[in-house]
C-alpha cells in the first residue's frame, strides 16, 4: 500500500501546476482554549516557505481574517484566503480583496452589538470580531453555556444570519456565503491546476472538500488528494471523504516537511 508520503509526492509530478491548500487551526497548529494563543510551529512555516517556491500555489484557507492568517504562518509567498472565503490576500498584497456584497459586511456585527449581554461573559463565551463574521467561542465552558449559544444561534437565524458550527465555536455569518467551498473554487479557477492537495479538520473544511470532489468528478481537477486531521469534534463525513487520515496537526506538518525536504 502506498504511504501518505508517497501519495503527497504527486504534487511534484508537475510542480508548477500543483496546488497545496491547507486550513490553519487544527490542521497547521493545535487547537487551544484561546484562539489568540494558537501557534503555528516553525517546522510548518519553514516547510510552507520552501513549498511556496516550488509549487504553483500554496494557500492557507482559514476562518481567521486573512491578515491574521499571514501573521500566524508568516510566509509571504503563501496566498491566504481568510474569513472562510471572504478575504483573499495574495503574496505581496497589503490588504485583502473582499469577496462579499458591501451591504452584508456589518450585519453580524450589528447583531452582536444589539444582543451582547453580561450573561455571555458570565457563561464564559468569548467573542471574536472577524469583521463580516462574528465568532462565539466556548471551549472550556459547560453544557449550560452550550445551551445559551444555541439560543443565540436561534435569534441570529431569525435575524437572517447564518449559524455555522465548528469545534466549540459558533460563527454568525452573512447569508449566502459560500464559505471555504467558494474560496477553493476561486483559488483554482485560474492556472489549470492538474494536482490539488487539500488538508483540513473541521466542518468548514468539509464544505471545501465536497466542492473539490465535485470539481474532480467533473474533470476540472485531474488529481485530488484530501487529507483530514481527525478529532472527536470533527465531522465524520470529512474523515470518510479523506484519502489520508492523520491523527493530529503534527502529523500533517510532518508530511509537508517531508515533502519540502524532497528534491524537486
Ligand atoms: Mg480548522
- Do residue 12 and residue 93 come from a single domain? yes
**pLDDT 10s digits, 174-210:** 987 888 999 999 999 877 899 999 999 999 999 999 9
- The reported pTM is 0.85
User: Residue 39 sits in a domain of what CATH number?
Assistant: 3.40.50.1000
Same domain, residue pair 95 and 119? no
Among residues 130, 147, 173, the one where a domain terminates is 173
Ligand 1 midpoint to CA 14 (Å): 28
Q: Are residues 249 and 132 in the same domain?
A: no
Both 188 and 256 in one domain: the answer is yes
Domain check: are 91 and 204 in the same one?
yes
CA dist., res. 113 & res. 115, Å (int):
6
> What spacing in Å lies between the alpha carbon of 205 and ligand 1's midpoint?
7
Q: Can you give the pLDDT at residue 264?
A: 57
Residues 232 and 144 in one domain: no
How far from 80 is each of 14, 133, 153, 204, 233, CA to CA, in Å?
22, 17, 28, 16, 25
Instruction: Quick: pLDDT tens for 26-54.
Output: 999 999 988 889 999 999 999 999 999 99
The CA 256 to ligand 1 mean position distance, Å, reads 17
Q: What is the CATH number of the domain that holds 136?
A: 3.30.70.1020
Number of domains into which the chain is organized: 2
Do 217 and 125 belong together in one domain?
A: no
By residue range, what is the domain housing residue 144?
A: 102-173
202 CA → ligand 1 middle, Å: 5
Residues 146 and 183 in one domain: no
> Residue 255: exposed, middle, or buried by beta-carbon count in 10 A (0-12, 13-18, 19+)?
buried
Look at residue 157 in the predicted model and tell me its pLDDT: 96
115 and 94 together in one domain: no
> Which of 27, 34, 230 is closest to 138 using CA atoms?
34
In this structure, are 113 and 168 located in the same domain? yes
Kindly give the distance from the C-alpha atom of residue 24 to the centroid of ligand 1, in angstroms, as a whole number.
6
Neighbours of 205 (CB within 10 A): 33
Ligand 1 mean position, distance from CA 58 (Å): 17
- Is the pLDDT confidence value at 104 over 90? no
Using CA atoms, how far residue 211 sits from 55, 62, 193, 226, 246, in Å, is: 22, 16, 15, 12, 21
Task: Give 229 Cα–ligand 1 centroid separation in angstroms.
Answer: 9
Interval between CA 30 and ligand 1 midpoint (Å): 9
Q: In what order do the strands lie in the sheet with 169-173?
A: 126-130, 133-137, 169-173, 162-166
Domain boundary among 156, 173, 190: 173
How far does the centroid of ligand 1 lie from the alpha carbon of residue 84, in Å? 11
Hey, what's the cell of 130? 472577524
- The mean per-residue pLDDT over the stretch 95-101 comes to 89
The last residue of one of the domains, among 173, 188, 208, is 173
Q: Do residue 88 and residue 196 come from a single domain? A: yes
Q: How far is the CA of 250 from the centre of ligand 1 (A)?
A: 13
pLDDT band at 1 (very low <50, low <70, confident <90, very high): low
Q: 93 C-alpha vs ligand 1 centroid, how far in Å?
A: 24
**How far, in whole angstroms, is CA 53 from its chain's centroid?**
22
Domain co-membership, 159 together with 117: yes
Phi/psi-derived region of residue 4, left when phi > 0, alpha when psi is between -120 and 50, beta in every other case: alpha
CB within 5 A of ion ligand 1: which residues? 23, 25-26, 201-202
Amino acid at each position: 500500500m502506498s504511504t501518505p508520503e508517497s501519495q503527497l509526492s504527486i504534487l511534484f509530478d508537475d510542480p508548477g501546476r500543483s496546488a497545496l491548500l491547507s486550513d490553519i487551526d487544527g490542521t497547521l497548529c493545535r487547537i487551544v482554549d484561546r484562539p489568540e494563543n494558537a501557534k503555528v510551529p516553525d517546522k510548518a512555516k519553514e516547510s510552507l516557505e520552501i513549498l511556496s517556491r516550488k509549487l504553483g500555489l500554496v494557500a492557507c484557507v482559514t476562518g481567521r481574517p486573512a491578515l491574521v492568517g499571514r501573521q500566524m504562518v508568516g510566509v509571504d509567498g503563501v496566498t491566504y484566503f481568510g474569513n472562510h472565503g471572504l478575504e483573499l490576500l495574495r503574496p505581496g498584497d497589503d490588504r485583502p480583496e473582499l469577496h462579499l456584497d458591501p451591504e452584508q459586511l456589518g450585519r453580524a456585527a450589528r447583531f452582536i452589538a444589539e444582543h451582547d449581554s453580561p450573561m455571555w461573559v458570565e457563561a464564559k463565551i468569548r467573542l471574536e470580531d472577524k469583521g463580516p463574521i462574528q465568532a462565539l467561542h466556548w471551549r472550556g465552558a459547560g453544557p449550560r453555556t452550550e445551551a445559551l449559544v444555541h439560543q443565540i444561534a436561534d435569534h441570529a437565524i431569525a435575524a437572517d444570519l447564518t449559524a455555522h458550527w465548528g469545534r466549540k465555536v459558533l460563527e454568525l455569518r452573512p447569508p449566502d456565503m459560500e464559505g471555504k467551498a467558494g474560496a477553493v473554487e476561486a483559488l483554482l479557477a485560474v492556472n489549470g491546476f492538474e494536482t490539488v492537495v487539500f488538508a483540513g479538520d473541521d466542518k468548514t473544511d468539509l464544505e471545501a472538500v465536497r466542492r473539490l470532489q465535485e470539481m474532480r468528478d467533473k474533470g476540472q481537477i485531474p488529481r485530488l488528494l484530501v487529507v483530514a486531521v481527525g478529532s472527536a469534534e470533527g465531522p465524520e463525513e470529512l474523515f470518510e471523504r479523506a484519502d489520508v487520515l492523520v491523527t493530529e496537526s503534527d502529523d500533517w506538518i510532518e508530511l509537508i516537511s517531508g515533502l519540502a525536504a524532497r528534491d524537486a
